[in-house]
Structure formats: C-alpha cells, structure tokens
Amino acid sequence: MSADLIDGKAIAAALRESIAGAVSSLSASHGVKPALAVVLVGEDPASQVYVRNKGIATEKAGMTSIEHRLPADAAQDDVVALVRSLNADNDVDGILVQLPLPDHINSALVINEIDPSKDVDGLTEVNAGRLMLGKDGLVPCTPQGSVILAKTVRESLSGLHAVVVGRSILVGKPLAMLLLAENCTVTMAHSRTKDLAATCREADIVCAAVGRPRLIKGDWIKEGATVIDVGINRVEEGGKSRLVGDVDFDAAKARAGAITPVPGGVGPMTIACLLKNTVIAAARRRGLPVPEITVK
Ligand code: NAD
C-alpha cells in the first residue's frame, strides 16, 4: 500500500483563491479592504523571510499589508506601545507579532496586548479560551490548516481516534481542541508519554508537532491512518541541507492511507489560514457577515 499524498500546496492555493473572492465581495458590497499589520522585532533571517512571504500573500489576496520593524534591542515597552497603536488604528484588521521575539521581551505579555478581535494568530488568552469553550473566535493558523488537510481525505472526522504528538500552545494544544470539536477521540502525547509508539499505533489520525526529525517511525502508523506532519526540521544529509518532518515519510507512506509531505504539506496552509483569519476579523469587527471561504 502507498498512501495518497495530501497536497498542501494545491489545497492552500485553492483556499487563497476562495479568500481572494471573499475579499472582492467585501470590497464590492461594503467598500472594505482588509488590512494585516505584521510586527517584526530584530533581524532573525528566518523571520524576515516569513514576514516577506506573508506580505506578498496578503497583497496577492487583494488585502493591504503593513509592516512594522523594530530593532533587536527595542524595549518591551516600545513593542507594547506599537501593538497598542495598531489596536487603536481602525484601518488595521489583523495584527501579527512575528515570533520568536528577542529574549529580553516577554512574548506572552506582548501577545496578550493584541486586541482579541484583531488577533489573527489566535494566541491571546481570549481566543485560546474561546477555542476551549467552543465559541467563535480567531483560531491559530497551523492547527486550523492541519484540520482542513485532514478533512480533505476523510468524509468525517467524527468518532476517529486522533493522536496529537506535542502539546505546545502554538500547535499541539489548539490542534487537540479543534479535533475534539470535530468529535474525534483525542489523545495528547508529549515528551513524557510512556510508550509513544504504542500510542501512535492506536491512531486513525496522527498529527506530529514536535520538532524532531523523523521521530515517528513507519511501523508506528496503523494501516490506512491519516498522517498530518506539522514538523519542519532542517537536516544535513549527503552533504546537502534539506527539510524533513517529524514523521519518517518514506516508511510511513507504505502504511498510511494519506500523508502530508514536508515541505508542501501543512506549511503552505499556515499563511492561507492567516489570510482567512484577517478576512474574518475584518468582517466581524464591522458587524458584517463573514463571506464563505472554502476549499473546493
Ligand atoms: P515546541 O518546541 O513548542 O513543542 C514541541 C512539543 O513536542 C512539546 O510539547 C514537547 O512535549 C513535545 N516533544 C518534544 N520531544 C518529544 C518526544 N521525544 N516525544 C514526544 N513529544 C515530544 O514546538 P512547536 O512550536 O509546537 O512546533 C513543533 C514543530 O512544528 C516544529 O518542527 C516547528 O518548526 C513546526 N511548526 C510548523 C509550522 C508550519 O507552519 N508548518 C508552524 C509552527 C510550527
């Protein structure tokens, strides 16, 4: 058996097309052009690439992209003051503070300064709480994208056993909440889990969000399971640098029913869901109906 490939690149492109349609309809019916403001502190090269790509994708979807850069030695109060000014700016619909922030800045404090109605990363306490309570809010992008991918290969997730490996605030915990909302039976595994192999073997859906190259072995995957690999790890192999996931892709592919590749799986969905959240924020802040955004 060889698994179907879940083509995150193509699915993200379809989602971005639907988002662009939603932006045009907001603009045509209400004269609204959603705007996303990204705050970058410091010169981290990976963060600079992410911010540039987010800006390009935002403009391509027909929205306004705003970038604010602060030096690496910016004081925490300066970052908070910038976030507060973006909260107060009525032309800004979404605010994203690029992580990681420099060590001298308390990230949790800065994130929690973001107006929850503009928190397009879904990381404020209000949005995390809303997700926990099953209320409408802004949902973290990577977990949201992961569930969309799983739903492209499963008619319904209801009743399936999902194992989420990793319990971070950014990915593992919100992903578990979203799968619970889809009526999965959810197991959260992490670094202290006693027998990770046996836990994964129980799963109809394995979601790996750990940050350890090929931690999940092929024989940990149940025949026909859906594998969503969130991990992005750079490894040096055969004198070359390449990206691999948290799942041993080649071995898992032989047993899984469907699997996401790395790169080209969850990664592209993250930016697409950020754009989706910006449209949702723009509509909700004005009391307008949220235009339909789907993956056809
Ligand atoms: P994190 O370091 O915050 O959390 C890692 C989690 O893995 C922890 O909860 C820890 O308990 C668990 N863990 C660590 N070692 C383990 C082990 N041996 N067995 C089981 N669990 C273990 O990381 P994160 O921010 O959640 O990111 C996880 C991965 O996802 C990273 O590779 C990151 O680069 C990637 N990521 C990808 C995207 C994307 O857009 N595709 C977005 C965010 C993160």
Which tens digit of pLDDT belongs to each residue from 147-163? 999 999 999 999 999 99
12 falls in which pLDDT band (50, 70, 90)? very high
Can you count the helices (H) and strands (E) in the chain?
10, 11
Find where tokens 């924020």 sit. 281
CA-nearest of 224, 209, 215 to 178 is: 209
pLDDT at position 60 over 80: yes
Give me the CATH number covering residue 86. 3.40.50.10860
Query: What is the spatial distance between Cα 133 and Cα 127, in angstroms, rounded to a whole number?
Result: 10
Q: Is 257:225 a contact under the CB 8 Å cutoff?
A: yes
H or E segment at 242?
Answer: strand 240-244
Residue 233 lies in a domain: yes
Mean pLDDT for the chain overall: 97
Find where tokens 């578990």 sit. 176
Domain boundary residue among 115, 150, 167? 115
**78 Cβ contact list (under 8 Å, min separation 6):** 70
Same domain? 147 vs 262: yes
Same domain? 146 vs 263: yes
Residue 17 lies in a domain: no
Query: What's the 214 CA to ligand 1 centre distance in angstroms?
Result: 12
H or E segment at 35?
Answer: strand 35-41
Which of 54, 118, 222, 276 is flagged as catalytic?
A: 54
Is 244 near ligand 1, meaning CB less than 6 Å away?
no
Q: Number of folded domains in the chain?
A: 2
Residue 283 lies in a domain: no
Would residue 246 show up in a list of annotated catalytic residues for this protein? Answer: no
Residue 269 Cα: closest atom of ligand 1: 40
pLDDT, mean of residues 273-285: 98
Strands (E), 15-160: 35-41, 64-70, 94-97
H or E segment at 185?
Answer: strand 185-189
* Phi, psi dihedrals of residue 127, rounded to the nearest 5°: -70, -35
Which residue type is seen at 290?
V
Would residue 115 show up in a list of annotated catalytic residues for this protein? Answer: no
Is 232 near ligand 1, meaning CB less than 6 Å away?
yes
Same domain? 109 vs 169: no
Range of the domain at 249: 141-267
pLDDT, mean of residues 270-280: 98
Same domain? 232 vs 145: yes
Domain boundary residue among 53, 80, 115? 115
